[in-house]
Amino acid sequence: MFTPLSRREFLKSTAAGAMLLATGSLASCAAPLAPTAQDGAPGAAVQVVRALMWSNGPIIDDNFKKRAADFNELHKGAIEINLQLLPWDQYWSKIDLSYAARDPYDIYFWDIQAYGHYKAGLLRNLQPFVDAAPELMDPEQYPVALYDVWRFDGENLYALPENFQILAFYYNKDLLDQAGLPYPDENYTWDALIEASKQLKQGEGDQVTQWGFDLGDLHAWWGAQTLAWAMGGAFFDRIVEPTRMQMSDPPNVQALQFLQDLLWKDNLAPTFSQAEFLAPGTSLFQAGKAAMLVAGSWSLSGYKDVAFNWGIAPLPKWIDTRVPAFWFGGWVITRDSKAPEGAFEFARWSATDYQQTMAVNHDWIPLRKEARESAAMFEGMPDGFDITLASIFEARLGDVYHSRSQELLNEAIFPNLEQLWANKITAAQAAAQMDEKGNQILQKGA
């Protein structure tokens, strides 16, 4: 699973890369290259593949190092992966500087900033390689219908998925048992959540000592949008190259207002300051101070050793509709890679042969069905993992792909959501301000 940092805080990457993209400096570094087999021909020197991944903590980092070592042993004499792990706050600036120096990495892990690299012409079209590896497109093993959103030009894959994550609903079994409440399942609704939250909330005087529900990742725009989706809305007109930000559409305002009311009007979920006061330095759920929480599947490993029994479920339904968010993890290969065949082989191997090891390690959710549904994948997982995993097929991608995505988030979305969650503005005001600034940014074009 991704740590929250790996996907959620890309706004903190340095401004250097954004400036280089904005001025076109990175785009000028790329020269058109077609896939070639020269470097991988029989008798050729070992292809050294320079790979980059961000650090996710000791356990996942060690698994990545072991992955690279296993690959190198299997491909000894032909391909050698030179994998570097960097802190998140250095990752994208390092990539952008390598482009600017005309010495790019061969392969690196996808996140939303890489879409800007695609728009700048810096990424290699992987479709010729994928076409030569038909096992990757086996619909019996891979959720290939979900790949369409990664066909940025409508036809070709520019990134190869190897895992996915999904937004989930976590619950503390012990607290629900004490209150005599049923465990959430695939039929759980927001109405049931609200009623349970009323019964689970406890306090001493004016001080709440236990919350029934913590919004968790619903504070993020992509978390809040899942509720808007269920209500019939969407924050953007489309995921890839949106032309309109539409926060003021009624379902979107309704979703934002509903969440703000849980915090301030109904007082059924804690504000940031209330949560920090009750569980400083950790999450309320992890501290056993909140019975239910919305969080990504990347949080599973972090809750492994908590001192209570817990489970997960798909997101609650709004009346009879649920639309979770999912994300792909995968690899991109630079257009000017000196070892594209070796780089693709590492990505292909990670998405095929390595999938069972991924299931055993539990740090990612494999794409390959036989690994994802293996006994090893479910060993040690919480109750409800199976039905939560199945909800991937009713999910939508929780990203927005635009060369100005970072500008959209930093200038339009984040400041207004911060005010909304602090109860300084209404949902309608936040939506109007996000639309005004966001659409100004979109009108600038790519």
* Token pair listed for 79: 């391909």
- Written as one string, the DSSP assignment of 277-306 is HHSTTS-TTTTT-EEEEEEEGGGTGGGTT-
Rounded Cα gap, residues 414 and 230, in angstroms:
22
Q: Region 29-41: what's the mean pLDDT?
A: 40
In a domain, 388, yes or no: no
Higher pLDDT, 127 or 36: 127
Rounded Cα gap, residues 41 and 45, in angstroms:
9
Give the model's pLDDT for residue 121: 96
Same-domain pairing of 212 and 302: yes
Give the model's pLDDT for residue 8: 37
Same-domain pairing of 182 and 278: yes
The pLDDT tens digits for 323-339 are 999 999 999 999 999 99
* Token pair listed for 334: 């630079």
Domain final residue pick, 337, 352, 383: 383
In a domain, 437, yes or no: yes
Same-domain pairing of 242 and 126: no
Higher pLDDT, 281 or 37: 281
Q: pLDDT category, 446, cuts 50, 70, 90?
A: low
pLDDT at 60 over 50: yes
Angle at alpha carbon of residue 299, lines to 184 and 217, rounded to 5°: 70
* Token pair listed for 374: 């293996």
Same-domain pairing of 40 and 71: yes
Same-domain pairing of 279 and 171: yes
Residue pair 190/230 in contact by the 8 Å Cβ criterion: no
* pTM (two decimals): 0.86
Q: Region 125-139: what's the mean pLDDT?
A: 97
Q: Region 113-123: what's the mean pLDDT?
A: 94
In a domain, 289, yes or no: yes
In a domain, 391, yes or no: no
What is the tally of structural domains in the chain?
2
Q: pLDDT category, 37, cuts 50, 70, 90?
A: very low
Domain around 418: 166-326+402-443
Give the model's pLDDT for residue 363: 82
Residue pair 408/416 in contact by the 8 Å Cβ criterion: no
Whole-number mean pLDDT of the chain?
A: 90
pLDDT at 275 over 80: yes
CB-count exposure of residue 320 (10 Å: 0-12, 13-18, 19+): exposed
Determine the residue type at 188.
Y
Same-domain pairing of 237 and 346: no
Lowest mean pLDDT among 38-52, 133-147, 156-170, 222-236: 38-52
Q: What is the CA radius of gyration of the chain?
A: 22
pLDDT at 18 over 80: no
The pLDDT tens digits for 238-261 are 999 999 999 999 999 999 999 999
Same-domain pairing of 259 and 337: no
Same-domain pairing of 156 and 180: no
In a domain, 207, yes or no: yes
Same-domain pairing of 313 and 335: no
Domain with residue 170: its CATH number is 3.40.190.10
Q: Region 357-378: what's the mean pLDDT?
A: 94
Give residue for tokens 């998925």. 161
Give the model's pLDDT for residue 262: 98
Percent of the chain having pLDDT more than 70? 90
Same-domain pairing of 262 and 354: no
In a domain, 176, yes or no: yes
Same-domain pairing of 112 and 228: no
The Cβ-side half-sphere exposure at 381, using a 13 Å CA radius, reads 27
In a domain, 390, yes or no: no
Could you give phi then psi for residue 375, rounded to 5 degrees? Answer: -60, -35
Same-domain pairing of 10 and 38: yes
Determine the residue type at 261.
D
